Amino acid sequence: GHITYMRTDTPAISDEAAAALRERILERFGADHTATAEDIAQRASARKKPANAQEAHEAIRPSGFDFFEELGGLDEDAARLYKLIWERTVASGMKDALMERSAATIEVEAAELPQEMGGGAAQLRFRCNGQRTVFA
């Protein structure tokens, strides 16, 4: 199989799998994008466990960490599912995204509105928020 045991609800992966994951991320994306082993373990333990959790097995993850495009022999649906599992697993081994946020507010006091907007004086306000991912 291409993935580990699929009947589990734990987010934790084994220490060996975490080390292999970190190695592949380091190789492909570099140290700036690789989470520490402690970060990976902390993310898995940070969530609240449901009362009926079945955590006997590690998280569903690729059985190996070859990059998705290197894997062949799957039909379209299986490939899409594997890609989802692969992407989520790799993301769990990467550093958190850095986001840059900005906001702008423009106010115009007592602007004269055009007739088609009812005419007269009004205070106009325009506000926008945005964020973007900052790449290292």
Q: 34 pLDDT exceeds 80?
A: yes
Q: 96 pLDDT exceeds 80?
A: yes
Percent of the chain with pLDDT over 90: 6
Residue 90, class by beta-carbon neighbours within 10 Å (0-12 exposed, 13-18 middle, 19+ buried)?
Answer: buried
Q: 74 pLDDT exceeds 70?
A: yes
Query: Rounded to two decimals, what is the model's pTM?
Result: 0.63
DSSP string over 11-77: ----HHHHHHHHHHHHHHH-GGGBPPHHHHHHHHHHSPPPTT---SS----BSS---GGG-----HH
Q: 89 pLDDT exceeds 70?
A: yes
Helix, strand, or coil (residue 97):
coil
Instruction: Return the structure tokens found at 123.
Output: 């205070």
Q: Which residues are catalytic?
A: 5
**Cβ pair 110, 121 in contact under 8 A:** yes
Q: 136 pLDDT exceeds 60?
A: no
Q: What is the pLDDT of residue 54?
A: 60
Q: Is the torsion defined by CA of 114, 116, 122, 126 positive or negative?
A: negative
Q: List the domains of the chain with CATH numbers.
A: 15-96 (1.10.290.10), 99-134 (no CATH)
Reported as a single tens digit per residue, the pLDDT across 58-72 is: 888 888 776 666 667
Strands 98-112 and 121-134 turn out to be antiparallel
